[in-house]
């Protein structure tokens, strides 16, 4: 309590004192109402990859909770770069259950799948103290009743994707970033979990490693899509 008086919480959206995310800013968050194919970003039912897009992406589908704009940008940046673990947890705690219904529907169609959080390199993990994908995996796990299996290990400490000026540079940056975790036996269907889905280079590289090791289908669940 004494710590809170000296260092009161500030809203990540409006910077007002009181809570890490005030009710006004929370109401300005936009859910993803139209899911898209991860190959062409055009509308797709439950985010399933279109048959004619399978040469463009290694992902078999992708679903997001909210759109990457406004307050959502602030939440993700606060968690990643200012180490605000509580901000992300507060957001997930107050997210309407209806925004997650599609994830439950999706999971009933592939009940044998497992959730796999996109791992951080140990250097970044030690600096940050947590992996936001682990937090999100727990949330998705409760909603879908799917098990969490850490099938991947991050072996390359990549540069931030946002700093890469072209799609080609982002692909090169992620190449060789992951290896299989030999201590975990994966299922035939793996659902990757991450905080953000933009160009999908990170998820595609993870999917490449999984599929080259015999995984049949790889999907993606994310907090935000931009």
Token pair recorded at residue 50: 């279109």
Inside any domain, residue 4: no
Token pair recorded at residue 28: 């300005």
- pLDDT of the residue at 142: 94
- pLDDT of the residue at 1: 39
Inside any domain, residue 20: no
Inside any domain, residue 45: yes
Out of 13-17, 47-51, 77-81, the most confident range is 47-51
Segment 80-134, tens digit of pLDDT: 766 566 778 878 888 889 999 999 999 998 888 999 999 999 998 888 888 999 9
Inside any domain, residue 40: yes
- Provide the whole-model pTM: 0.89
- pLDDT of the residue at 3: 35
- pLDDT of the residue at 6: 37
Radius of gyration of the chain (CA): 17
Give the dihedral sign, CA 152/153/158/161: positive
Q: Note down the domain range covering 210.
A: 30-225
Inside any domain, residue 73: yes
CA 209: distance to chain centroid?
A: 18
- pLDDT of the residue at 5: 38
Region 32-54: mean pLDDT is 96
Region 161-180: mean pLDDT is 76
Question: What percentage of residues in the chain have a pLDDT greater than 70?
Answer: 89
- pLDDT of the residue at 206: 96
Instruction: Specify the number of domains making up the chain.
Output: 1
Name, in order, each residue with C-beta under 8 angstroms of 149's C-beta and a sequence gap of 6 or more. Answer: 114, 115, 116, 184, 185, 186, 187, 190
- pLDDT of the residue at 8: 53
Inside any domain, residue 19: no
Token pair recorded at residue 20: 């890490």
Inside any domain, residue 206: yes
Residue 24 pLDDT exceeds 90: no
For residues 88 and 90, give the distance between their C-alpha atoms in angstroms, rounded to a whole number: 5
Residue 12 pLDDT exceeds 80: no
Averaged pLDDT of the chain: 86
Inside any domain, residue 193: yes
- pLDDT of the residue at 130: 86
């Amino acid at each position: 309590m004494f710590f809170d008086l000296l260092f009161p919480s500030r809203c990540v959206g409006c910077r007002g004192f009181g809570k890490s995310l005030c009710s006004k800013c929370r109401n300005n968050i936009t859910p993803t109402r139209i899911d898209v194919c991860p190959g062409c970003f055009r509308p797709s039912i439950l985010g399933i990859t279109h048959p004619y897009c399978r040469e463009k992406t290694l992902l078999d589908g992708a679903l997001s909770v909210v759109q990457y704009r406004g307050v959502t940008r602030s939440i993700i940046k606060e968690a990643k770069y200012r180490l605000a673990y509580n901000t992300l947890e507060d957001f997930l705690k107050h997210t309407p259950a209806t925004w997650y219904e599609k994830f439950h529907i999706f999971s009933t169609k592939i009940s044998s799948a497992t959730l796999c959080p996109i791992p951080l390199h140990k250097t970044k993990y030690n600096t940050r103290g947590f992996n936001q994908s682990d937090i999100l995996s727990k949330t998705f796990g409760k909603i879908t009743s799917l098990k969490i299996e850490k099938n991947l290990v991050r072996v390359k400490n990549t540069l931030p994707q946002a700093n890469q000026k072209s799609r080609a540079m982002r692909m090169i940056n992620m190449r060789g970033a992951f290896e299989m975790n030999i201590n975990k036996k994966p299922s035939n269907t793996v659902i990757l979990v991450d905080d953000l889905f933009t160009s999908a280079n990170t998820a595609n590289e993870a999917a490449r490693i999984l599929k080259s090791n015999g995984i049949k289908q790889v999907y993606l669940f994310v907090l935000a899509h931009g």
